[in-house]
Structure 1
Amino acid sequence: MQHCVVNVAKIVNMQSDNSLRDSVNSCDFINVDGMGVVWGARLLGQSIPERVAGVDLFWELIKWADCVGQPIFLLGAKQEVLSKAVSELSQQFPRLNIAGYHHGYFWENEEEVVAKIRESGATMLFVAITSPKKEVFINKWRRDLGVVFAMGVGGTFDIVAGKTKRAPIWMQRFGLEWFYRVIQEPRRMWKRYLVTNTKFLWLVAKELVQKRIKTNS
């Protein structure tokens, strides 16, 4: 089973990236990670009860894997970050079966990494690589990975390793986690959010106009 989360940036990028769009549409499970998508959907009359952050879902799945003994594989991030994340998970969940792990810089050796995942015996795969690479990778190799469940988790390993921090709970509740990320990494994030949020607002506005035209025709 292939799972992914969608946010404003991913929806915007799906408009021009066919590989990303096909990969997301091929997923068995999709959930919303981003209040912008929830608000946009509600404006369009679509019912999305709430956002489920990918990092929160990751922690719940790790707890479940620890309880039932499901072996997991961690793929992504820099080696030092990954090693720290593995150490932190092992300390928090002593029974957790980490069948294997590999850093996220392997694009010249994709087949070798896929074989490593398959031979590890893991049933759950978590891929902490930037979008659209993680979605395309999982979709491309989903039949060769040998896992039951594969999920892209973005920058989750950085959070687990303590490299980056999540926004305070109150900011998460008010949909301001994106603003906290801008504060943490202003040079890298401000342009991304300014451009993608503007494009997303345009997409929502265009859809609203089209709905009204259909309603009045």
Structure 2
Amino acid sequence: MKRTSILKTNIDNLTMQETLDLVDESVQSCKHIHHSVVNAGKIVLMQDDVQLRESVNNADIINADGQAVIWASKILNQPIKERVAGIDLMENLVELAHHKGYKIYCLGAEEDIVGKVVQDYKRNYSEELIAGYRNGYFSKEEEQGIAQDIANSGANMLFVAISSPKKENFLYENREVLKKVNFIMGVGGSFDVISGKTKRAPKWMQKSGLEWFYRFLQEPKRMWKRYLIGNTKFIFLTFKEKLKK
């Protein structure tokens, strides 16, 4: 597995299938993988947020989630094979878990949202797929107890649908407790999409690198700073790095 570094961020040069194979092997071998994804906005945050940078860069697998990251890797002569979107990886892993008899735990989002995701999975796959679930609203003091509950649930895979940097720091700070779970990853707003609360961009927008714009159009007041300012900063940092090299 070849790991590269772009703008202080470690990224593994893996395809979707290669990532799935690594996760499957870890479950079968009773190993543990801490997974993370990065997009343009998160990389911008990592420039100044030392704790977030540590939490992400120490993960066992780090995929490039955003298409902008793929473009930047090519500009900086460190090309990444393909985008591995967190939500796509999660959906593929849920399918894998169903076929292999693995169990998953869903943590995050509002109670009705995560509840709907779990009910949909039970209906579409089986009751046995779900090891447990919990909403994403809890205090710092509750984190260790929640991590222990997840570790004791019998889950093989944990999906954490909480915003950055809370989910990355939660997974990293509780990594020892969560080692009983074979695979742990943050999935951001994926539960909102799966439950139908928000819509995902059409395929052509995903492939064109415009998924962020579709998300912005749905919630402009909440997303304008993250995407418009964040993406501009990312472009600036990429060309600044290019000039340095």
TM-score by length of 2: 0.84
- CA distance in 1 between counterparts of 2:79 and 2:69 reads 11
In structure 2, relative to structure 1, the CA distance for the partners of 1:45 and 1:96 (3 Å cut) is farther
Tell me if 1:38 matches 2:38.
no
* Counterpart contact for 1:128–1:154, Cα < 8 Å: yes
Quick one: which of 189, 207, 228 aligns to 1:194?
A: 228
Q: Spell out the pairing of 1:168-207 with structure 2 (5 A cutoff).
A: 168-207=202-241
Q: Spell out the pairing of 1:1-150 with structure 2 (5 A cutoff).
A: 1-94=33-126, 96-107=128-139, 108-145=141-178, 146-150=180-184
**Matched positions, count:** 211
- CA distance in 2 between counterparts of 1:119 and 1:33 reads 30
Q: Which amino acid in structure 2 is aligned with residue 147 of structure 1?
A: V
- CA distance in 1 between counterparts of 2:244 and 2:208 reads 29
Give the C-alpha shift of residue 49 in structure 1.
Answer: 2.0
**Residue 121 of structure 1: SS of its match in structure 2?**
coil
Give the C-alpha shift of residue 95 in structure 1.
Answer: 5.7
- CA distance in 2 between counterparts of 1:114 and 1:34 reads 28
In structure 2, relative to structure 1, the CA distance for the partners of 1:109 and 1:30 (3 Å cut) is same
**Residue 110 of structure 1: SS of its match in structure 2?**
helix
Q: Which amino acid in structure 1 is aligned with residue 170 of structure 2?
A: F
Which stretches of structure 1, 4 residues or more, deviate above 6 A after TM superposition?
A: none
Give the C-alpha shift of residue 90 in structure 1.
Answer: 1.1
* Counterpart contact for 1:104–1:128, Cα < 8 Å: yes
- CA distance in 2 between counterparts of 1:8 and 1:129 reads 18
Give percent identity, aligned residues only.
53
Give the C-alpha shift of residue 191 in structure 1.
Answer: 2.2
TM-score by length of 1: 0.94
